[in-house]
Amino acid sequence: MKKAIQIVLAVVIVVLAFVVYKQIMTPMKFQEEQDRREKAVIERLKYIRDAQRGFKKANQRYTGSFDTLINFVLNDTLEYEKIIGSDDDSVAVARGQVRREKFRIAAIDTVFGTKKLSPDVVKQLPYIPFGNGAQFIMGAGQVTTAADVVVPVFEAKAPYKVFLGDLDQQELINLLDDRRAMDKYKGLKVGDLEQATNDAGNWE
């Protein structure tokens, strides 16, 4: 009987140790994987923002269509101006030695700054990393500011349930509940269709 009790106690200890281990490690593993996936989603949202800003520079508006956005990046150009001479040199200005020259650069070579994205990467812009083919939800429009100024806006977003949906379900529910309690979007997004935010991301 004593030996049987010892065996039962040993089993109980092992089970309790496993439960405690799982309670500690599950949130940690979830957070680690969430951070890894968020990093990839944020990177793509930044690329979308860069492309949208380039589109706005060329068209004075944003677009709610990924087809239009991708076509712009792959096939359009942006106009820039180069000053020959210095506007601060009044003598040179008076002599007509200061002039401006306009030139165009392929959108794909300039909208992403120092990053050089290949056409294949640009074509992946609509798709949420770890989203199993799901696309970012994107829209564009206009809002009127408090100063009665009409400004173009856009928004691109990825719900947590799309790119974290295959992880621990209770941890995902906890995350969504926390976001709801804070009245924050339950995912990652850049821009806003209801207010002018200077295209800020909700992770910034």
For residue 30, pLDDT beyond 70: yes
For range 77-87, the mean pLDDT:
77
- CA gap 147, 129 in Å, rounded: 38
Average pLDDT, the chain: 88
Higher pLDDT pick, 99 / 187:
187
**Residue 102 belongs to a domain:** no
Q: Which domain holds residue 45?
A: 38-76+111-191
**141 assigned to some structural domain:** yes
Say whether 63 sits in a helix, a strand or coil: coil
> Is residue 64 included in any domain, yes or no?
yes
CB 8 within 8 A of CB 149: no
Would you say residue 89 lies in a domain?
no
What's phi and psi for 135, nearest 5 deg? -105, 155
Q: Please state the domain count of the chain.
A: 1
Is 1 a domain residue?
Answer: no
| 137 within domain boundaries | yes
pLDDT tens sequence across 62-79: 999 999 999 999 999 998
Asked if residue 98 belongs to a domain, the reply is: no
In this structure, is residue 158 part of a structural domain? yes
123-130 average pLDDT score: 98
Residues 161-169, mean pLDDT to the nearest whole number:
97
Residue among 32, 80, 31 at smallest CA distance from 54 = 80
